[in-house]
């Protein structure tokens, strides 16, 4: 189980490393990390390099178990700060009545929650101020992550015609799978929030997102690797990270059930 937890944490960390590398290649921050406004920040080469290197260093620390608990907690706090300081003001200004325009804000919300979940997956061995901070903030991670899944599920119904176009052409019943996936996201998110069959909900969510990674995101990224500075690849990396978070949440729930 410990090795599997390391694997799920690696899924989360590798997704952020890949996004950071994308930023360095294209010289601009991905929208999931920072919105295009305020103008000039997301494309400022110094900002791009500083944030990308920080993401890589933090993610490498998580993968190799270097102060993972503290690193993940502070990473979650930084991502949450980016959401509050930049994504929410940008969303209010440009997409106040358009839920679909809040996608990147909810994604960084999920990444922040994922980082807190990673922190909570590491047993506490110290009794100090930093650990007190982690103990207080880490439990909220599952709510951040689950709320995002519920919102994405709702979007399957609001924007069903668009979502249908994302279902691979070789899969029959596009309308069915659009609504089925929406219901599954809402049900999994609700189960996590309400702590109802949390382990089952998290495992099923992780399996579903990982299947999307293999069946949907990777083929789309291979077919269109360059549009939007590699936007399809970013979506694939996000799916990898979110599946890891879901599996890790299930593993944490199982460990706590045994206590």
pTM: 0.95
Q: What is d(CA 96, CA 249) in angstroms, rounded to the nearest whole number?
A: 31
In 10 A of CB 98, how many CB atoms? 9
Taking alpha carbons only, the member of 62, 155, 61, 154 closest to residue 114 is 62
Distinct helix (H) and strand (E) counts, the chain: 12, 0
Q: What is d(CA 29, CA 20) in angstroms, rounded to the nearest whole number?
A: 8
The pLDDT value recorded for residue 126 is 61
Q: What is d(CA 114, CA 108) in angstroms, rounded to the nearest whole number?
A: 9
Per-residue pLDDT of the chain (259 residues; tens, 9 = 90+): 678 999 999 999 999 999 999 999 999 999 999 998 877 788 899 999 999 999 999 999 999 999 999 999 999 999 999 999 999 999 999 999 999 999 999 999 999 999 999 999 988 766 555 566 677 777 899 999 999 999 999 999 999 999 999 999 999 999 999 999 999 999 999 999 999 999 999 999 999 999 999 999 999 999 999 999 999 999 999 999 999 999 999 999 877 655 4
Contacts of 128 (CB under 8 A, 6+ apart): none
**Whether 48 contacts 23, CB under 8 Å:** yes
Ranges of each domain in the chain: 2-258
Q: Tokens in use for 16? A: 């952020």
Residue 11 buriedness (CB in 10 A; 0-12 / 13-18 / 19+): buried
3-state secondary structure 106-127: HHHHHHHHHHHHHHHCCCCCCC
What are the backbone angles phi and psi of residue 245, rounded to the nearest 5°?
-60, -45
Q: What is d(CA 85, CA 156) in angstroms, rounded to the nearest whole number?
A: 28
């Amino acid at each position: 189980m410990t090795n599997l937890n390391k694997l799920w944490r690696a899924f989360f960390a590798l997704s952020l490393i890949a996004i950071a590398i994308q930023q360095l290649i294209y010289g601009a921050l991905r929208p999931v990390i920072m919105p295009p406004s305020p103008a000039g920040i997301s494309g400022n080469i110094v900002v791009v390099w500083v944030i990308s290197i920080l993401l890589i260093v933090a993610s490498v620390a998580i993968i190799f178990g270097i102060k993972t608990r503290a690193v993940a907690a502070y990473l979650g706090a930084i991502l949450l700060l980016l959401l509050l300081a930049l994504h929410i003001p940008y969303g209010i200004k440009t997409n106040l009545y358009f839920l679909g325009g809040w996608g990147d804000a909810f994604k960084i919300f999920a990444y922040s929650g994922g980082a807190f979940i990673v922190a909570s997956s590491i047993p506490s061995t110290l009794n100090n101020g930093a650990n007190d901070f982690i103990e207080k903030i880490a439990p909220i991670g599952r709510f951040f992550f689950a709320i995002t899944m519920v919102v994405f599920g709702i979007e399957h119904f609001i924007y069903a015609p668009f979502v249908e176009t994302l279902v691979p052409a070789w899969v029959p019943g596009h309308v069915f799978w659009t609504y089925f996936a929406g219901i599954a996201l809402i049900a999994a998110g609700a189960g996590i929030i309400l702590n109802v069959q949390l382990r089952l909900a998290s495992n099923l969510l992780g399996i579903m997102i990982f299947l999307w990674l293999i069946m949907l995101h990777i083929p789309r990224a291979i077919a269109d690797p360059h549009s939007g500075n590699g936007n399809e690849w970013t979506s694939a990396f996000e799916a990898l990270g979110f599946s890891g978070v879901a599996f890790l949440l299930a593993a944490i729930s199982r460990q706590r059930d045994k206590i």
